[in-house]
Amino acid sequence: MDDMDLPMPDVEIESVSPDELKDRIDAGEDVTLLDTRMESEYNEWKIDGETVESINIPYFEFLDDEIDGDVLARIPDDREITVLCAKGGSSEYVAGTLKERGYDVDHLEDGMNGWARIYERVEVERYGGAGTLYQYQRPSSGCLGYLVVDGDEAAVIDPLRAFADRYLEDVDDLGADLQYAIDTHIHADHISGVRSLDAEGVEGVIPEAAVNRGVTYADEMTLAADGDEFEAGDATIETVYTPGHTSGMTSYLIEDSLLATGDGLFVESVARPDLEEGDEGAEDAARQLYETLQERVLTLPDDTLIGGAHFSDSAEPADDGTYTAPIGQLEAEMDALTMDEDEFVELILSDMPPRPANYEDIISTNLGQQEADDEEAFELELGPNNCAASQESLAGD
């Protein structure tokens, strides 16, 4: 049954916007969510938090006039409940049926699709280079990007297509022009915004090492090779080739202060090595990742900040609210970074999570081998990113 076919109860239901819900969670308020999506969707991707209680009861359990008593018994009646679904229709229906029975309820406006449109810009306070550095955060999928602004020039690293207009608006508000839109690699979890921004007059940059994967638009882009530098005002962005997650994986060292590592190293984990060549090529990629981490990343000064392209539910933000951490801290906290090569490879191959949803179509779209309009692109990337190895097995005690 489609959302539009649901017989809406004759009661007024208040809605809460995704931003309002996020603010409540960030403030540490106790939040109780009733997620009415199918169990498989819920298990793959849901709203979490230390003060969030989440209950999953699919909407079809509420379609009968006499709702099963066991269903109602699972829903607390002593607090406010926020009902949510995929797009906001069935949650409004369920909230109405519960309000008719005396529950204190509202529903999440636009559902998980609305949650996926939250995109926040947070200043990296420990950044020590020229200008100002910001981290973009998409809580629904854990995607991260970076914006460096100095004077009247700016550059963005790992932009998302869904928010291409947002970067231009933000940079304009900051009194600058966006000079570069830079990708770290061919992403498998979201649609890149580099080509969209390039079409708006921003210089698009992709790793030279990624072209051989079948990029169809390389002639239209600036290719970044190891050691190349890009300038945004007085801020220098140095290209650092860091293969492992993919053969073309490339990091960018911003003012010797923060290494934007893409999917090579995160604040809570390291990359998974199987998204390019599958299980057959995973071991070789894992050994390449080990070499990269030991020889190209961990050799940087201990106070160099690491900023990945993602964060997971197990990641802890720094005091400034960003998912960044000094290399020295990560080396002290993450067992995987101090293992020998064979131990490292065995560990990260032993417990990899499911691959990102629609990752093959996303990769093909990012290579330019297939097309997707804005709505199709947005739908493709809904869900968790799953680009890291298992966090539970990699962290220290």
Same domain, 262 and 168: yes
Overall average pLDDT of the 76-101 stretch: 94
Find the CATH number of the domain harbouring 107.
3.40.250.10
Quick one: 60 and 192 in the same domain?
Answer: no
Residues 6 or more apart from 242 whose CB is under 8 A from it?
A: 249, 250, 251, 261, 262, 264, 292, 296, 297
Based on the domain organization, do 68 and 189 belong to the same domain? no
Going through 209-275 in order, the beta strands assigned E by DSSP cover 222-224, 229-232, 235-241, 250-254, 258-262
178 and 283 co-located in one domain: yes
With a cut of 50, say whether residue 179 has pLDDT above it.
yes
Residues 133 and 106 in one domain: no
Mean pLDDT of the chain: 92
pLDDT of residue 32: 97
Domain end point (choices 115, 145, 164): 115
- Choosing from 64, 83, 115, the residue where a domain stops is 115
| Range with the poorest average pLDDT among 37-46, 146-155, 233-242 | 37-46
Last residue within a domain, chosen from 92, 115, 138: 115
Distance in angstroms (rounded) separating the CA atoms of residues 40 and 10 = 31
Q: What is the CATH number of the domain that holds 234?
A: 3.60.15.10
pLDDT at 397: 38
Work out whether the CA dihedral 323, 327, 330, 332 comes out positive or negative.
negative
pTM of the entire predicted model: 0.92
Same structural domain, 160 and 83: no
Q: Which residues are catalytic?
A: 85
d(CA 309, CA 298): 18
Same domain, 105 and 173: no
pLDDT digit string, tens, across residues 141-167: 999 999 999 999 999 999 999 999 999
Helices and strands counted in the chain (H then E): 13, 18
* Cα–Cα distance measured from residue 93 to residue 13, given in angstroms and rounded to the nearest whole number: 9
State which residues form the domain around 57: 3-115
**Residues 184, 222: one domain?**
yes
CA pseudo-torsion sign 53, 56, 59, 60:
negative
pLDDT band at residue 1 under the 50/70/90 scheme: very low
